[in-house]
Amino acid sequence: DTRVPPRQRQKRRREAITAATCLTEALVDHLNVGVAQAYVNQRKLDREVKTLQAQAAQFAKQTGQWIGMVENFNQALKEIGDVENWARSIELDMRTIATALEYVYKGQLQSAPS
């Protein structure tokens, strides 16, 4: 405006520059606080991810051990079943032999002279 004296224009210009500078600094400070908080949060997340990865690896290892134990247990149960079947087979064979021996013994008693 041409009606405003040059000194007053200069003063208003300096005041506007000062106000703009203050506003810019305030905005940058506000943004920096947000960025700093995001950085802190990111570091916390990184630590949590590392902890979670370690726990997941430990859990996977433990699960593998449990699976191995269950497989060993199942194998032992199968072997017990095999032994039980073997014992039944032996028992049946022994009964057959005992019956045959008894039959032979009775036959010898009947054929022996009295």
pLDDT tens digits for range 86-96: 999 999 999 99
pLDDT tens digits for range 5-35: 888 889 988 999 999 999 999 988 888 888 8
**pTM greater than 0.75:** no
- Whole-angstrom CA distances from 93 to 73, 97, 99, 100, 106 are 30, 6, 10, 10, 20
Q: Give the integer Cα–Cα distance in Å for 7 and 18.
A: 16
